[in-house]
Structure 1
Amino acid sequence: MANFLTVQTKAKSIKPNQVRSELFKFIRSIEEELVAYNVATLNQDSEDVTGKPIGFYSSGTEIMTGGRKKTGEPFDLTETGKFLDSIFAKVQSNSILFDTTDPKKKEVLKNLLTEDIFGLQDNDLKMVIDERLSPFLLNYYKTKLL
């Protein structure tokens, strides 16, 4: 077990840029997990990042789908082809960009009640912090200090 002076010396050697770099790499490594949260919010919860409904199927949709999608049911974005599968997260220097590569993006967005569909809801962000980032940082500091 390290004594206080050893830990203090090791703590002084930890530089903010080093921590930032390691955290950046870690967040990049979980980009797909972040995408999975965003997709689940859209597909299963039918909500945008603020918790508002993204839309509801119309009677026209019910007719076009042969009753598979009922009037008034929440959108799940599965009728749009590859939209959900083409959502991505890209860690940038000071943010995480969520978007889609689907060429029908504009068409999909114009049929929704909101355009705030890319990103994490607060509860998902809290879960990522609690279950992924905090353990990573605690382990990082434990490894560096002990």
Structure 2
Amino acid sequence: MGTLQEQLNLARKLNPQRISNRIFDIIRSIEDELLDLNTKGQLNQGINASGGKLYNKKTKRSLYSPLTEEISGGKKKAGTPYTFEDTGDFFKGFFIKVYKDKAVFGSNDTKTPLLVSEYDDLFGLTDKNLRSKINSKILPELISKIRGHFGI
């Protein structure tokens, strides 16, 4: 564990930038989990990043219509929430871009600009899902790294 002076020197090295770097390293390490939570855990359930129902501003609906059921050959059922699961390209294109002070979700699918114009809050996690990932993955890993830094 070291002397008090050694611990103090270690504490001085533990600055906000180093902590921020560790957090982003942790986010990178669980990127696939975060993307799955955004796609399968939220959008596929008809839920946006704000925790509300996916709502199409153009059609003014949040559920598939009978016409959509007919066109999809029954794959999409009338009265069920939008899921964005058709070809799978939108979900396959999901990514997280980590900047200096934030992580931004997006998709490189060609339909993305259209979908973003018709729906709000497609990208990102609900507060509940984000809090869950912070408590179950990010904080434990960060605490472990800090303890390792101090040798405890």
- TM bin, normalised by shorter chain, reads 0.7 to 0.9
Return the alpha-carbon distance in structure 1 between the equivalents of residues 31 and 65 of structure 2.
34
Among 69, 78, 92, the residue aligned to 2:76? 69
Aligned to 1:11: 11
Aligned residue for 1:90, secondary structure, equals: strand
Q: Which residue of the other structure, out of 125, 130, 136, is the alignment partner of 2:141?
A: 136
- Unaligned runs of 5+ residues in structure 2 are 55-61
TM-score in terms of structure 2 length: 0.81
Deviations 1:9-63 (A, max 9, x none): 43233233322223222222222222111112101x2110111111211111111
Matched with 2:114 is: 107
Structure 2 CA distance, aligned partners of 1:81 and 1:135?
33
Say whether residues 1:60 and 2:67 are aligned partners: yes
Q: RMSD in angstroms over aligned alpha carbons?
A: 2.0
1:4 Cα shift?
4.5
Q: Which amino acid aligns with 1:21?
A: N
The residue type equivalent to 1:63 in the other structure is: E
Q: Distance in 2 between matches of 1:81 and 1:128?
A: 25
Task: Indicate if the aligned counterparts of 1:28 and 1:90 stay in contact, CA closer than 8 A.
Answer: no
Structure 1 unaligned residues grouped into runs of 5+: none
Quick check: 1:42–1:76 contact (8 Å CA) kept in 2? yes
- Do the aligned partners of residues 19 and 107 (structure 1) sit closer, same or farther apart at CA in structure 2, a change above 3 Å counting? closer
Distance 1:20 1:69, change over 3 A: closer
2:31 counterpart of 1:27: no
Q: Are 1:42 and 2:43 counterparts?
A: yes
Alignment check: 8 A CA contact 1:31 1:90 kept: no
Output the CA distance in 2 between the equivalents of 1:98 and 1:36: 12
| CA deviation map 1:63-119 (0-9, x unaligned) | 112223221111111125411111111111111111111111233345x5x321100
Identity among equivalent positions (%) equals: 30
Q: CA contact under 8 A between 1:83 and 1:102: conserved in structure 2?
A: yes
Distance 2:51 2:22 in 1: 32
